[in-house]
Structure 1
Amino acid sequence: MSRIVYVNGDYLPEDEAKVSIFDRGFLMADGVYEVTTIIDGKLIDFDGHFQRLERSLGELDIENPLPREDWLEVHRQLVAQNDVEQGMIYLQVTRGAPGDRDFVFPDPETTTPTVVLFSQSNPALVDSPKAQQGIKVVTIDDIRWGRRDIKTVQLLYPSMGKMMAIKQGADDAWMVQDGAVTEGTSNNAYIIKDGRIITRALSNDILHGITRAAVLRFAREAQMPVEERSFTVEEAKAADEAFVTSASAFVMPVVEIDGTTLGNGAPGPLALRLREIYIEESRKSAI
């Protein structure tokens, strides 16, 4: 059965879905996106993703095309129509298709945003083999634009970063600016030293991760010390544990950085416990 997707108000088989060649998301990467996790057929942290969507759209001066309840209904329809138990809903809003290419923003009165959503099923999302093995990362220079806090569709360099990592036999890359780790290519980065969880503080330098916020809240509730500050590559290599967080990876242990093995080379106990807590608590609050 063909996957059902959502395009500008219509639910369609994926092979019938179309977007204009003049859409500014295609021509200018002029758009934002969100990815909401599905566990047990329910949405994880939907309100967090909705609030960040509103913020990203506001920073780019794009009007939010739908109210919260409509967004929620579209998500639920896609989960139901595609029978997704574990996976994700990808959402993208662009400034629209003005009918020609121009650097100047089109008049929002005559050009409406383009809205696209689709589901991706991943039956191994919760019981990920990677989480039991841990991942290897390499470090690369962070040469992205300065507004990384806006979740835009400008993902070429993060994609290139993942390919750089794969070519070196690793799973992902951590980006580095002025000697300090900013974040992973599609996730927030953390180290653990002497029982303390260390991650970069929120700013324009990193994405304000929805999973990040939840994990740090759960860590504090579990009496795990948290430091929100920058850390260097050297600190990371000397850490007891490391991990990343994202909507698609939850809490994913890191066992190697630039060829340096962390601990005994296996996922650390605190990272694994945080993953357990995150999944348990997320299941309780899913809608």
Structure 2
Amino acid sequence: MNFEDINSILSTNVPMTDITIGNVLIAVLILIIGYLIVALVVRYIRHAMNKANMAHLLVEFVSRVAKILLLLVILLVAVSALGIDVGAGLVSISVVFGFVIGFAFQDMLGNLAAGFMIALTKPFKVGDFVDAAGNSGSIQHVGISNTTMLTYDNKKVIIPNSKVWGDAITNYTAMKTRMIDLTVGIGYDDDIGKAMKIASDIINGHEKVLSDPAPMVATNELGDSSVNLIVRPWVKTSDYWAVKRGLTKRIKEAFDEAGINIPYPQTDVHLFKQE
């Protein structure tokens, strides 16, 4: 097979079209080389952003958007290589394409946009314990479209970012210190001053309770069955649960030793006999 034969084959039109086989081969070559170039560019973008210590979620978002846009450009160049005029109908095609994509992938786009906002505002990071989208747990992974959470009972929960961003987010570990809020009820016949002193001595004597802000013990309310005291010491966030459980146990034991009752709700039922 000589050059003229090859040229003849490449100049042959694809059946029922004006597109030559040569144009098809060029378009395929453009797609292959273009894809490789896009991969290199995206890899460079990732490397540059990671080197600049940008948020992982932001790196993922920018990389994906750049990849999609560059692949669209390569696709248009390949279509143009087929001899198809992409300029004349590009605007109308873009409008229709944008409408179809927006409608079909509105949830995905919403998750991407929410992921971008999470990366920008940083309401939490990996390892934080949060309430988000009706779930409580430790953040394991923050992705471009979803967030992975591990609950306290070791369940893995994957939440779309649109739900995370669209609801209130409570971050329990964002601050270095937290206040423990205990409510302790005593009987109406018990000595309030004595009970408050016992509780105050316990929290002030605890090695992990902070002195600043100062702990507080106060009478909160007169309940149906008890006088309710509030006990509010401050601790390091990392010590929160251990100290809370420890204080609850110590206060109960100290009240028992002092003869102070911790009442439970009671209801008096009066029966009347009709004559």
TM range (shorter): under 0.3
Q: Which of structures 1 and 2 has the bigger CA Rg? A: 2
* TM-score where L is the length of structure 1: 0.22
Which protein is richer in helix relative to its size?
A: 2
Tell me the TM-score normalized by structure 2.
0.22
